[in-house]
Amino acid sequence: MTTYVVHDTTVLLKRSLRHILRSPDTIITTAVTPIAMLLLFVYVFGGAIDVGGARYVDYLLPGILLITVASGIAYTAFRLFTDVSSGIFERFQSMPITRSSVLWSHVLTSVVANLTSLVLVVLVAVAMGFRSSAGPLAWLAVVGIMVLFTLALTWLAVIPGLTAKSVDGVSGFSYPLIFLPFISSAFVPTSGMPTPVRWFAEHQPVTPIVNTIRNLYAVQPVGHDGWIALGWCLGLLLVAYALAMRTYRRKVG
């Protein structure tokens, strides 16, 4: 059974990746907004924000990486919605393929596309002066966190992709996810926020994830933020996966 799932997922993944290669503007568009934010905050607001003596581009980049993923998963939901509304799902159901492979192909395509967008954002940050003395293990840890975060949000995106009634409905769900980093330590330290806002910022998932990535880049101990970030990513992934599969079974049942 596992062999069939892997084979069917691989075939459908190649199909999805071909669509991406035929329209690379999707990846470019995904990276445009985060890059614009990076340029705006570093060159316009960065000089007025005190981040304890660190270069602002180094402080800002981890939050921009999360915004990049939040922007990218909107396209995953849209591609899934397109397959559902065009009748492709019905065709797949009539073919001898495992049902879960249909979703997994979209999810893995999202991971590949988002990692490509993240590379573009990091390259722009390097051109703007971002520097890190982190070693290979720290960079691998950052990649691992971003993959877990991408998987969690992608499985969350599967739900509106299957249930939305319009294009506006399927794309609108990502807006709160893009906005969430603004109420965190992504752009400014939480110490200067009003008490209620600071409490929310310090107890939502973005802050420990951003702090962990920032410390890894700065070769600093991640402390308890690392475990909290891992817990948030895995917890969101498990919940989103369970809800997405339940929605999918209802859709095709």
Sequence ranges of the domains in the chain: 2-252
Is the pLDDT at 96 greater than 60? The verdict is no
Report d(CA 239, CA 235) in Å as an integer.
Answer: 6
Percent of the chain scoring above 90 in pLDDT:
48
Report d(CA 120, CA 109) in Å as an integer.
Answer: 17
> Can you tell me the mean pLDDT for 77-104?
70
Residue 163 burial by Cβ neighbours in a 10 Å radius (0-12, 13-18, 19+):
middle
Determine the pLDDT at residue 192: 85
Q: Is 72 left (phi over 0), alpha (psi -120 to 50) or beta?
A: alpha
Residue 5 burial by Cβ neighbours in a 10 Å radius (0-12, 13-18, 19+):
middle
Residue of higher predicted confidence among 124 and 3: 124
Give the relative orientation of helices 56-86 and 100-127 as an angle to the nearest 10 degrees: 150
pLDDT tens by residue, 30-85: 778 899 999 999 998 877 888 877 889 999 999 999 999 998 888 888 888 877 77
Q: Alpha helix (H) ranges present in the chain?
A: 2-22, 25-40, 56-86, 88-93, 100-127, 136-163, 167-172, 174-179, 195-202, 206-217, 223-252
pTM equals 0.89
Residue of higher predicted confidence among 86 and 212: 212
Residues 6+ apart with CB under 8 A from 61: 38, 121, 122, 125, 130, 217
Is the pLDDT at 4 greater than 60? The verdict is no
Is the pLDDT at 178 greater than 90? The verdict is no
Report d(CA 121, CA 226) in Å as an integer.
Answer: 23
Amino acid, res. 132: S
Mean pLDDT rounded to a whole number for the chain: 85
> Can you tell me the mean pLDDT for 165-172?
74
Is the pLDDT at 176 greater than 90? The verdict is no
Is the pLDDT at 241 greater than 90? The verdict is yes
pLDDT tens by residue, 205-229: 999 999 999 999 999 999 899 999 9
Determine the pLDDT at residue 1: 47
Here the tokens at position 246 are 């339940």
Here the tokens at position 145 are 């966190």
**Residues 140, 141, 143, 146: what is their CA dihedral angle, to the nearest 10 degrees?**
180
pLDDT tens by residue, 122-166: 999 999 999 999 999 999 999 999 999 999 999 998 888 888 777
